[in-house]
Amino acid sequence: MAQQHFPDLIRPMLAVLGDLPEGPEWAFEFKWDGVRATTYVRDDRLRVLTRNDLDASRTYPELHALTELLNHRPAVLDGEIVALDPSRRPNFSRLQSRIHTRRPTDDLLRRIPVAYYIFDVLHLDGRPLLTEPYTTRRRLLDDLHLTHPSIQVPPCFTDLPGTTVQSIAATHGLEGVVAKRKTSRYDPGRRSPSWIKVPLIRTQEVVIGGWRPGEGRRSGTIGALLLGVPTSTGLHYAGKVGTGFTAPMLEDLQSRLAPLSRPTSPFTTEVPTDHARAAHWVHPTLVGEVQFRTWTPEGRLRHPSWRGLRPDKSPSDLTT
């Protein structure tokens, strides 16, 4: 096949939320609790782009090991950047201090190293692979033998039922499973039913529309965030979250929300009086993520807990 121009941008293919599919036409991977990133390696140079096209090459210097591992082979790879806890499980809360650091110090790199879990190859040796089936792309990825403390190609399962893979994920405390149709092509920027995500931990991406001041030991800082989910009719109020924060998280949120202040609520649906009391409204631009139990009949999050900001996403990316 003739070589083609090395791509400047391939937006990541996205999965739909659904039930675990069955049948031999599906392959299964673990769902990783981190930040999606596409890497572009060419002429010993590395570019790391997040889902919203932000360049994070300096934020995660560990990924520069890819240039040596690929041995001068140009490639575009898709994967997840994760921070591991002492049990070697991805932990999104640990990743927070790395997400917001443009130039991490040596101390931060030692305390919270990251790893890049690669699960797809989109362009290799001048050959575009987007129209190749998943099984072909996966075989080419495995043949690259990318093994390094900071670079891994996690397993995919083509001969196990999805329920078994899901059980393994649950046993090891992982976020869930992604089912991928073996014949599927890679559709850049599209949320495709050929990829189905089945989380074990229920999470929701939300937009911050306001905050309430804290009381007691949280006096003088944020007590709860007022959250929304974009809909076709505007920003739907989805409830408040007041747990899951660390002191550094609260300090960072306070500094980010201060310049976003506005006099009125950004929500198009009613905010309960007890939630709106003493509220500070903000322009709805910051995206975060919560873990929660279920949705209430009013469309609000039941028992949410804050997981962290998602600077790799914008409000237009959100789905429920």
Q: Could you tell me the two tokens for 135?
A: 């099984």
Contacts of 169 (CB under 8 A, 6+ apart): 30, 31, 175, 176, 177, 200
d(C-alpha 74, C-alpha 140), whole Å: 13
What span, in angstroms and rounded, lies between the C-alpha atoms of 314 and 120?
24
Asked whether the beta carbons of 123 and 74 are under 8 A apart, the reply is yes
Structure tokens at 132: 């190749």
180 vs 137: CA distance, rounded Å? 12
The secondary structure of residue 254, as a DSSP letter, is H
Report the C-alpha gap between 129 and 135 in whole angstroms. Answer: 11
DSSP per-residue codes, 58-86: TT-GGGGHHHHHTTT--EEEEEEEEEB-T
Q: Which of 31, 180, 240, 313 is catalytic?
A: 31
> Is 31 a catalytic site residue?
yes
Query: Is the CA virtual torsion 53, 55, 59, 64 positive or negative?
Result: positive
DSSP 8-state class, residue 259: G
Distance (Å, whole) CA 126 – CA 293: 46
Neighbours of 178 (CB within 10 A): 21
Whole-angstrom CA distances from 251 to 46, 142, 284, 296 are: 32, 43, 19, 30
In angstroms, rounded to a whole number, what is the distance separating the alpha carbons of residues 8 and 47? 10
- Catalytic residue list: 31
